[in-house]
Structure 1
């Protein structure tokens, strides 16, 4: 059953009373007091605050995090292309979420400061309890918006409960506030999340609960804990925990904004935050956990489990989702031209190389100085020749380039390679082979809509989707339980290497993904690499890889230099070796300043006490 996110409520409310309010002439506007004495307008106000949660479903325009990562490339020559080549500055104003989220913060604060005396709500017997719940939702949203600013820009200005009039003179002290330190920002967000969690009376909104399904997507205790888990993991990471590169990053008065002293207890805090959610999941009676599907033999089907965790709405793995979204545009970007798609969004060869074989072994163990892969021949991997192979989820065996044979199940749920069949075999297109080589139906030779990497994504693309014939809307998952498990094992490995929970919960992810358990007896560094690889594979195209390479301080290696794919300039068939060869499509630039987004230059010019991020 389709379960709408509360954001869908916004379109209904704004199309009636709230839209009418916005459309009135200034002399006829309702006052803040009048708005917050009416239940309908107060609810629509809060729905509007929810709408400040960014729609992350369509990567090309809405948010940049996937298309700026080393996992992805889009063929359009837009802002992401310029950023990846290093051609941007603080005046470029790309993805200015600083302004966006501060507007959301102000709107949430207005709600918090004015809802208590709502006369219509208080007329109901349950009115006081509803006000407590709605205030907790607004407090969560405000904390969430601050956390989004923190991960993009670093330390921010804490406004607190003040409602700052945007029409104030720039000379007013409230318009000239300084940034708080990173640790102060984290402490503030945690405090706000704790307050919200304490006042929320719903732990988890659960699929199938008829009483709660209309509230799917509202703040809950679980969502507060999940945001806290991510926040504390990032705070413990090398970029923000003892980073000497930021020893001169300070306000004009000399206040240091990033603590340069390493604190191992930050990893402990992150581990404990994630473990709290895991403990709930394991005692919830199946309300929260990894989503699994089984084959006819009763074994976990790694392909279907991973593919459908994104397609089966509000399954037990979902923690946060958005009903009103632009998934249709994302899916069209990943759809080949044979099905009226744009064929423009593809994984890089670096991501392709990360996927293990179905025996759990990594086929590529490194690269030579010239960029050639170092192949583990014991894995069974080969980049020579073709084999007859039926991929998981396919309806027939195909002549397949050996690079794509016998990879782990999640590879086939994520990657469309040339020679594979289009996933929707029920449309008028029927069973069709995808051609990404130069003269192919989706190749460079036929249109400007093509993949420079010679691959397309198919993760979170429905097998019933067609951009013309069938583009049924569905919710978009933003956070899921698998991320919590990976947060936990990463933090635990840093704080308590060798702890048995590390293998236990990492193996839960691997088992669901259809590969064997991790090797035993690994040291901390070996386990760290296993965890990072697992995180990259499991969470690719979920807006996390961009932040992972930065918080780990490895982006200067992973996000710079030559990027590879197949040869989009060559090939006349799906058995032509001219296409199936590693080819550089782009050389990217990553400077040390890129670890944090620049604060928009207009903000720096308006506030003389607001310091710019290092290097900008």
Structure 2
């Protein structure tokens, strides 16, 4: 990030990486003040000293970006995030890992994730401290407004994370509580929280630019919140609010903490218009830069002033170990990084079967050409499949060998030979630190990070244009039914994916669908397009279908190689998932209820 600031009559050039909290200023900045900002508790800092210094004030703003990904993080629960709590992936962790507690139906107020609550309110308090000191900060009116716009967005972002997990939360406004204050703020209703988030996004959008200069090089303004990001967050929140989980009346929710208290179809119209407003900005487009598009989308920085897909993204840490986290916990062991970690996040057969064929038809359609379980079951699939899942025979770079080599996930007779030919000893199902499902994750992983390879920087995409198109398609279908406009958005996504247009240029989209059929189609499309991006976990909840998708056995594919090289295939049960209706929301942590008696627990807990 780059900002030119007036400070004591002089101009300073600051380059700031928001998530890393790295500050590089000109030699006019004095290094002797570093310890002052290194203290952890803001309560012991001299606010006047911080906010009377433009350098410190800007650094303070950047620090507020530091927890953006705590819900999205692939390592949120130690080795695997929310994708391992649903029908996307299996974790290698013990049953005591929170993702396995969730998938086992054992979530309760004592073992729930407490970091969501504490992290959110730590950031909200810090943001409110900045707003309290806003009048004295020595920044230009324009820069001060941009700082406030960023912080209002970030407050809405953290609050929306609370909304997804718990429903209604305590809204503290701009209040700054001191350590000696008795804090006992009741939860606001779900509707009040949605309205607050939407209003904050609108305020932020009015203060923020469409884009920043110098975003093509990582580290210079990359990741700053824009007007488009603020409107996109609002659009996402309103889509959730219109969905069946909360757009309803519940007898067990008299205070309307997890529901509106009535069903209003007009909420779909409001969500549709909010998402269409982002589309109508004409500031974003699906990534079609370097091929393969869907793969490179997650590895290539895109400037936010040249029709990118990245509406809101952050720069991953410059620490090589942290930057290579995904490869460390997801790559097949034979393709591991130089860092040792527990390989986890193994895609389930349920996700594999969600991918249709290259002709756009689902594998359940007799006309799709799907061969069924066997040697050809991974052929001619939706091209997104090959950049989402690593399967037996998938080609990946292998250190020491030229060209991509097949990944071997089978068990049985492993032939002798070089490290490539015997790699099933490392990658095969049932091997130590290897796949539990017969698959490895590939989405967002670099094929060049193997052995001694490295990738210092990559984008972490939190909101992208394809999601907005799918949001709009869903909301418009629910509000008005199927239309050519909806089909056009879906065709754009499928065209970019590489699905064949077919003789009617419909990319496998069946003409003449009614609202219910289109709903199922959009839900299926979201599952494959947005896999491993922290959408599926919340989608099945807001659609209120988790009791169907989660209350079941989850499967993997056991492939056994005979001595003659012939493979046999067997569908195996990896884990049985249990879902209880109260788990559509997380329970409020017992520790918070103890501290604040005014808080009420969610229904069922």
TM-score by length of 2: 0.85
For the residues of structure 2 that align with 1:538 and 1:450, how far apart are their CA atoms? 26
For the residues of structure 1 that align with 2:373 and 2:20, how far apart are their CA atoms? 51
Q: Is the 8 A contact 1:59 1:67 kept in 2?
A: no
Q: Judging changes above 3 Å, is the alpha-carbon distance between structure 1 residues 419 and 248 closer, same or farther for their aligned structure 2 residues?
A: same
Pick aligned residue for 2:578 from 574, 584, 589: 589
Tell me the equivalent position of 2:170: 157
Q: Judging changes above 3 Å, is the alpha-carbon distance between structure 1 residues 72 and 229 closer, same or farther for their aligned structure 2 residues?
A: same
Q: CA deviation at 1:204?
A: 2.7
Q: Judging changes above 3 Å, is the alpha-carbon distance between structure 1 residues 361 and 155 closer, same or farther for their aligned structure 2 residues?
A: same
Equivalent residue of 1:566, what SS?
strand
Matched, 1:545 2:552: no
For the residues of structure 2 that align with 1:519 and 1:26, how far apart are their CA atoms? 58
The answer for unaligned runs of 5 or more in structure 1 is 122-126, 170-174, 295-300, 365-375, 386-400
For the residues of structure 2 that align with 1:184 and 1:358, how far apart are their CA atoms? 45
Matched, 1:328 2:324: yes
Q: Is the 8 A contact 1:419 1:574 kept in 2?
A: no
Q: Judging changes above 3 Å, is the alpha-carbon distance between structure 1 residues 180 and 446 closer, same or farther for their aligned structure 2 residues?
A: closer
For the residues of structure 2 that align with 1:227 and 1:463, how far apart are their CA atoms? 31
Q: Is the 8 A contact 2:77 2:98 kept in 1?
A: no
Pick aligned residue for 2:92 from 45, 69, 75: 75
Q: How does 1:169-188 map to 2 (within 5 A)?
A: 169=182, 175-188=183-196
Tell me the equivalent position of 1:392: none
Q: CA deviation at 1:81?
A: 2.0
Residues 281-340 of structure 1: CA distance to partner in whole angstroms, max 9, x if unpaired? 2xx4xxx2001257xxxxxx6xx1111111111261111112134441212222112123
Q: Judging changes above 3 Å, is the alpha-carbon distance between structure 1 residues 538 and 129 closer, same or farther for their aligned structure 2 residues?
A: same
Q: Is the 8 A contact 2:552 2:578 kept in 1?
A: yes
Q: How does 1:311-390 map to 2 (within 5 A)?
A: 311-314=299-302, 316-325=308-317, 326-340=322-336, 343-364=343-364, 376-383=365-372, 385=374
Pick aligned residue for 1:505 from 474, 489, 492: 489
Pick aligned residue for 2:210 from 203, 225, 233: 203
| Cα RMSD for the two superposed structures | 2.9
Equivalent residue of 1:441, what SS?
helix
Matched, 1:306 2:294: yes
Q: Judging changes above 3 Å, is the alpha-carbon distance between structure 1 residues 85 and 290 closer, same or farther for their aligned structure 2 residues?
A: same
Tell me the equivalent position of 1:465: 449
Equivalent residue of 2:573, what SS?
strand
Pick aligned residue for 1:133 from 142, 146, 151: 146
Bigger Cα displacement from structure 2, 330-339 vs 584-593: 330-339
For the residues of structure 1 that align with 2:587 and 2:149, how far apart are their CA atoms? 31
Equivalent residue of 1:589, what SS?
coil
Q: Is the 8 A contact 2:361 2:368 kept in 1?
A: yes
Equivalent residue of 2:411, what SS?
coil
Residues 399-443 of structure 1: CA distance to partner in whole angstroms, max 9, x if unpaired? xx2110111111111111012222x25765754321212352334
Q: Is the 8 A contact 1:435 1:573 kept in 2?
A: no
Pick aligned residue for 2:228 from 207, 216, 222: 222
Bigger Cα displacement from structure 2, 466-475 vs 314-323: 466-475
Q: Is the 8 A contact 1:437 1:574 kept in 2?
A: no
Q: Is the 8 A contact 1:438 1:572 kept in 2?
A: no
Q: CA deviation at 1:445?
A: 6.8
Matched, 1:435 2:408: yes
Residues 467-494 of structure 1: CA distance to partner in whole angstroms, max 9, x if unpaired? 5432433221121100000000000000
Tell me the equivalent position of 1:265: 266
Bigger Cα displacement from structure 2, 306-315 vs 518-527: 306-315
For the residues of structure 2 that align with 1:93 and 1:28, how far apart are their CA atoms? 28
Matched, 1:147 2:160: yes
Equivalent residue of 1:599, what SS?
coil
Q: Judging changes above 3 Å, is the alpha-carbon distance between structure 1 residues 64 and 26 closer, same or farther for their aligned structure 2 residues?
A: closer
Q: Is the 8 A contact 2:438 2:558 kept in 1?
A: yes
For the residues of structure 1 that align with 2:90 and 2:563, how far apart are their CA atoms? 23
Q: How does 1:412-561 map to 2 (within 5 A)?
A: 412-422=386-396, 424-425=397-398, 431-438=404-411, 440-443=424-427, 447-466=431-450, 468-515=452-499, 516=501, 517=506, 518-561=509-552
Q: Is the 8 A contact 2:392 2:438 kept in 1?
A: yes
For the residues of structure 1 that align with 2:130 and 2:200, how far apart are their CA atoms? 15
Q: Is the 8 A contact 2:327 2:336 kept in 1?
A: no
Q: Is the 8 A contact 2:114 2:589 kept in 1?
A: no
Q: CA deviation at 1:74?
A: 1.8
For the residues of structure 1 that align with 2:214 and 2:117, how far apart are their CA atoms? 34
For the residues of structure 2 that align with 1:191 and 1:269, how far apart are their CA atoms? 14
For the residues of structure 2 that align with 1:136 and 1:584, how far apart are their CA atoms? 49
For the residues of structure 2 that align with 1:573 and 1:158, how far apart are their CA atoms? 65
Tell me the equivalent position of 2:10: none
Q: Judging changes above 3 Å, is the alpha-carbon distance between structure 1 residues 132 and 582 closer, same or farther for their aligned structure 2 residues?
A: same
Equivalent residue of 1:158, what SS?
coil
Equivalent residue of 1:582, what SS?
strand
Matched, 1:20 2:20: no
For the residues of structure 2 that align with 1:23 and 1:261, how far apart are their CA atoms? 49
Matched, 1:249 2:249: no
For the residues of structure 2 that align with 1:408 and 1:588, how far apart are their CA atoms? 27
